Amino acid sequence: MSARELSFVHVFRPATVAGLPPVLLLHGTGGDETDLIGLGAAVAPGAALLSPRGQVLENGMPRFFRRLAEGVFDEDDVRRRAGDLARFVGEARASYGIGAPVALGFSNGANIAAAVRLLHPGALSGAILLRGMVPLDGPVGGSVPTPALLVSGDRDPIVPATNASQLAKVLGEAGGQVEHRILPTGHGLTKVDVELAADWYERLATRSAEAVAS
């Protein structure tokens, strides 16, 4: 692994299998750039992994944007930080020679991934959002077909079911097929989350390879 000094502190692990979409790993509150490396390797074996550390601190815990309270986001900061992350993705693509990544985010990481997807069409080639919420009430960017997987927990005390359903709707309206899977669990991740994400990523990678071949 290497961590070149781009605009985010990060870890980059090069691909060991050619032709796979790279994966942008986005941790939850209190995580860091090493937090989801194992998850990324399980979901996308052999893919390049790019994992930045959130630049906002909340009581000393890294996050990707500010919030005013639990589930109440500072939308101006969301927009600013989504732009910063989209620029970092561009820097990393140029520096490491990778394509547009598939975001794999958990909780706060899923929320910033959704914001990047909505505000900066084309920055991502796909998104796997684990326990994501609607990040913005205001206007978003243009429509670019970008597939997404949203996995929610029906016992999640942080993400209301109505909010998760609204996120699936908003992502679909922004362009691209959206799968929304609801598990009988809370906010934490389970083995089934990993299995669903790995299956979705494999299908996306297969479609991408077929498109290149044709």
- The alpha helices in the chain, defined as continuous H runs, are 37-43, 75-96, 108-119, 161-173, 191-213
Mean pLDDT computed over 141-168: 93
Task: Give residue 5's pLDDT band: very low, low, confident or very high (50, 70, 90).
Answer: confident
Q: Which residues are catalytic?
A: 107, 156, 187
- How much is the pTM? 0.95
| Domains of the chain with CATH codes | 10-213 (3.40.50.1820)
- Whether 146 contacts 126, CB under 8 Å: yes
Q: What is the pLDDT of residues 22-52, one digit of tens each?
A: 999 999 999 999 999 999 999 999 999 999 9
Contacts of 210 (CB under 8 A, 6+ apart): none
Find the largest Cα–Cα distance for the chain: 51
Over residues 188-210, mean pLDDT: 95
